[in-house]
């Protein structure tokens, strides 16, 4: 990534942690430093990947098998990286993504029980070592996150799981953060918005803006 002019930041976290609010704050902060920003999401980010997103999130009678879910996630991700993320970075644009590779380890690995080794094989094949420069993990208790989620509109397929699913998702995220502390930085998302945003600003100033 050092030879690519733009920076790639992913924002991770389970349901209800406030990713959308934080995403908008981070975008505004980066733009205030004079950088162009592409805000994107996973699954999604290109027309084909958005079609796969709609399939993955739709509530349906047919059960989507965990392996099928994982493969669709990586199909969308491969398209996303090659058609949207890499061209933006190479042009000097910063990319800010609502979720990326760590979400697969959390949701399909932790939540669905797919071995991390199998996910890593797909990661190595499709991404060939490509990772975000910085990953911000917003974390809070599952109970608080789901309370916030239930106050929103109609839930999608991932928002209707049992509490044990979200506990495993959170545990997998925290494990990823412990294993890759240089890239993944934990932010407590449970305080008020102003406190969370101060933490985000401090992190970005230290990691991304110190030499810019």
DSSP, collapsed to helix, strand or coil, labels residue 48 as: helix
**Most distant CA pair in the chain: distance in Å?**
52
Q: Is 17 annotated as a binding residue?
A: yes
Q: Is 7 annotated as a binding residue?
A: no
CA proximity to 201, closest of 23, 26, 9 = 26
Q: Is 20 annotated as a binding residue?
A: yes
Helix ranges, the chain (H): 19-32, 47-57, 66-80, 86-90, 101-103, 116-127, 142-150, 163-179, 193-204
Q: Is 14 annotated as a binding residue?
A: yes
**CA–CA gap between residue 35 and residue 93 (Å, rounded):** 7
Q: Please report the beta strands in 24-181, taking only residues with DSSP state E, as ranges in sequence order.
A: 37-41, 94-98, 134-139
Instruction: State the DSSP H helix or E strand holding residue 12, giving kind and residue range, or none if neither.
Output: strand 8-12
**For the chain, how are helix, strand and coil distributed in percent, rounded to 5?**
55, 10, 30
Q: Is 82 annotated as a binding residue?
A: no
Residue list for the binding site for ATP: 13-20
Residue list for the binding site: 13-20
């Amino acid at each position: 990534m050092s030879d690519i002019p733009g920076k790639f930041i992913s924002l991770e976290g389970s349901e209800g942690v406030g990713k959308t609010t934080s995403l908008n704050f981070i975008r505004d902060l980066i733009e205030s430093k004079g950088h162009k920003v592409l805000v994107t999401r996973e699954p999604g980010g290109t027309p084909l990947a958005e079609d796969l997103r709609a399939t993955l999130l739709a509530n349906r009678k047919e059960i989507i098998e965990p392996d099928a879910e994982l493969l669709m996630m990586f199909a969308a991700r491969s398209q996303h990286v090659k058609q949207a993320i890499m061209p933006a970075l190479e042009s000097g644009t910063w990319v800010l993504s609502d979720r990326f590779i760590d979400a697969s380890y959390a949701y399909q690995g932790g939540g669905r029980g797919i071995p991390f080794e199998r996910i890593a094989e797909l990661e190595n094949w499709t991404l060939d070592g490509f990772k975000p420069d910085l990953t911000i993990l917003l974390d809070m208790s599952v109970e608080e996150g789901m309370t916030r989620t239930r106050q929103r509109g109609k839930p999608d397929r991932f928002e209707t799981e049992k509490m044990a699913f979200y506990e495993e998702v959170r545990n997998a995220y925290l494990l990823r953060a412990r294993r890759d502390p240089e890239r993944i930085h934990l932010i407590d998302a449970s305080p008020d918005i102003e406190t969370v945003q101060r933490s985000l600003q401090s992190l970005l100033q230290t990691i991304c803006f110190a030499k810019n």
